[in-house]
Amino acid sequence: AQTVTQSQPEMSVQEAETVTLSCTYDTSESNYYLFWYKQPPSRQMILVIRQEAYKQQNATENRFSVNFQKAAKSFSLKISDSQLGDTAMYFCAYQSGTYKYIFGTGTRLKVLA
Amino acid sequence: DTGVSQNPRHKITKRGQNVTFRCDPISEHNRLYWYRQTLGQGPEFLTYFQNEAQLEKSRLLSDRFSAERPKGSFSTLEIQRTEQGDSAMYLCASSLGMGDTEAFFGQGTRLTVV
């Protein structure tokens, strides 16, 4: 069975600094997708960034980028120029086949002014 | 398009009562998912629909839980004979299917069983 592990329950970063959130996963599949979702307090989850496993190039979305290491089954999220609005729970998620997501336990990120 | 809508947002019920939640997905989204999220945890998959067909159910979904998606539009999730362990946030998500993998989530229904 596929699993997703986020080993950092909480992190904090100063505004305008850079922070990296870690995620590892386990799968025997060769084709899959990886995602980072953001869940602000009392608001719905929104997609931050996604990566197709067959693509070697790391995905980037403005201030958000990933470091995808397929052999190591690692998928970290880097947030550059952190903003107060980045304060949220961040979930790493895996998806393949049936399109259901398997989520990690999340990392609570707090951006400090 | 106003996104995925879930009702009610909050529900408090007594143990043993039945509850029903509703999810209205983004129009034309073929796939609809239900997840359960407890405090401090990531969402756990419960079930999903492709149009009106329920294609997969998690082992988490005991026989007290039932979900429907009549006519492939909105979906309902019913919990019968609620237990305190059912207290959680119930999330609904939808996606286009057809190879598109991004799911859009609703704000969830928070269930408290007292």
Could you report the per-residue pLDDT of B66-107, keeping only the tens digit for each? 999 998 899 999 999 999 999 999 999 999 876 667 889 999
Rounded to the nearest 5 degrees, what angle is found at the Cα of B35, between the Cα atoms of B30 and B39?
155
Q: What confidence tens digit (pLDDT) does each residue in A73-112 have? A: 999 999 999 999 999 999 999 998 777 899 999 999 999 9
- Angstroms from B37 CA to nearest CA on chain A: 10
Task: State whether B105 and A45 contact (CB < 8 Å).
Answer: yes
Q: What confidence tens digit (pLDDT) does each residue in B47-62 have? A: 999 999 998 899 878 8
C-beta atoms surrounding B35 within 10 Å:
26
A→B interface, C-beta within 8 Å: 4, 6, 33, 35, 37, 42-47, 50, 91, 93, 95, 98-106
C-beta atoms surrounding B111 within 10 Å:
21
